[in-house]
């Protein structure tokens, strides 16, 4: 079991006062040195600049990001802050323009795709189910890194698939076609597939998006069980800041393509962060779970947003 109370990062206790209504371009991240975790990170990005062929400038620039070993790290931030882009690069799906991504201290670029898939599982937002395939068949696709092209299914494969189906809680639908499932059931089936890879590191991009609350919690409980019982390191993009604060051991908050803050949720999720990054006036308290009560949307400096006196939507979800 991972020690959830251990603090892996030296952090400055003093936050500089900032005007929560300042325009986006005038905001500055908290002043603190980003030191590496006490234990070597399972996954790290160093001096990263990440972009796309269609962009002239990098979408994400990051001096250092760590996914601590044996913990759940959530990437949070508003739409367009670079969360998914950063996760794609950490997963080896998007080569950075500059910098390195290290998995267990070794650059992922030096691994073949099959070797990487034996060490790191990745579930993106975009996945299409092959027609006519059952849940069990889909989960068997997760075993491809462990078999040669002409190798038959082994007993180890069968055990891994049964374990993944059990962990994801989809045993009752294993013989159903994926195309006939609800959105939440499909997402759990895809999670079972990536669990069948049996990797020590797992990255997921907004796995709870478009799911009802029941299936959101099912997905997060599955991941927490995997982390608690088997020590799998998990990096996850979550849109709901309150949900991320309850679920994760460690948060990385992104703003305008750069890390704004990082560390345990109690230190990261503050009224200041909600104002500066999410442009929301809200109260935050821990009881011990986080309770976030949005009051209204702040002016984002674009000239087209609501005034500070007009009510708007804040981070989705509140504490329990």
Here the CATH number for the domain that contains residue 216 is 3.40.50.300
Same-domain check for residues 254 and 124: yes
* Prior bond of 288 cis (ω within 30°): yes
Give pLDDT, residue 149: 66
Of 128, 58, 50, 56, residue with least CA distance to 90? 50
| pLDDT tens digits along 103-126 | 999 999 999 999 999 999 999 987
Q: Which residue range(s) make up the domain with 245?
A: 68-93+111-269
Number of separate domains in the chain: 2
Same-domain check for residues 207 and 298: no
Give the chain's mean pLDDT. 82
CA distance 118 to 199: 6
Average of pLDDT values for 132-154?
87
| pLDDT tens digits along 184-240 | 888 889 999 999 999 999 999 999 887 889 889 988 998 999 999 999 999 999 999
The pTM assigned to this predicted structure is 0.80
Name residue, tokens 């030096």.
110
CA distance 73 to 69: 10
Query: Where a domain ends, among 251, 269, 287?
Result: 269
CA distance 51 to 85: 8
Average of pLDDT values for 78-83?
94
Is residue 45 a part of any domain in this protein?
no
Q: Assess contact for 203 and 123: CB atoms under 8 A.
A: yes
φ, ψ for residue 310, nearest 5 deg? -95, 135
User: Quick one: tokens of 233?
Assistant: 């390191």
């Amino acid at each position: 079991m991972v020690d959830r109370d251990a603090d892996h990062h030296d952090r400055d206790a003093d936050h500089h006062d900032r005007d929560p209504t300042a325009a986006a371009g005038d905001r500055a991240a908290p002043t603190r040195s980003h030191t590496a975790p006490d234990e070597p990170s399972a996954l790290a990005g160093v001096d990263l600049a990440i972009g796309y062929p269609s962009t002239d400038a990098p979408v994400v620039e990051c001096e250092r990001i760590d996914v601590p070993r044996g913990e759940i790290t959530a990437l949070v931030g508003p739409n367009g802050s670079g969360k998914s882009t950063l996760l794609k690069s950490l997963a080896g799906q998007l080569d950075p323009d500059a910098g390195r991504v290290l998995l267990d201290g070794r650059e992922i670029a030096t691994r073949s795709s099959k070797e990487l898939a034996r060490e790191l599982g990745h579930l993106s937002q975009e996945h299409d189910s092959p027609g006519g395939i059952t849940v069990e068949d889909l989960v068997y696709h997760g075993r491809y890194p462990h078999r040669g092209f002409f190798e038959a299914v082994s007993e180890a494969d069968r055990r891994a698939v049964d374990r993944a189906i059990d962990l994801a809680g989809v045993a009752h639908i294993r013989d159903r076609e994926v195309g006939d499932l609800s959105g939440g059931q499909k997402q759990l089936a895809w999670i079972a597939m990536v669990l069948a890879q049996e990797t020590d590191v797992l990255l997921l991009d907004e796995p709870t998006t478009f799911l009802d609350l029941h299936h959101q919690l099912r997905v997060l409980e599955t991941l927490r069980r995997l982390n608690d019982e088997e020590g799998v390191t998990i990096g996850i993009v979550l849109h709901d800041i309150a949900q991320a604060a309850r679920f994760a051991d460690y948060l990385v908050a992104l703003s305008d393509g750069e890390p704004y803050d990082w560390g345990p949720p109690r230190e990261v999720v503050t009224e200041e962060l909600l104002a500066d990054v999410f442009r929301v006036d809200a109260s935050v308290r821990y009881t011990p779970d986080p309770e976030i009560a949005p009051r209204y949307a702040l002016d984002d400096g674009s000239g087209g947003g609501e005034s500070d006196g007009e009510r708007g939507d804040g981070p989705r979800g509140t504490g329990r």
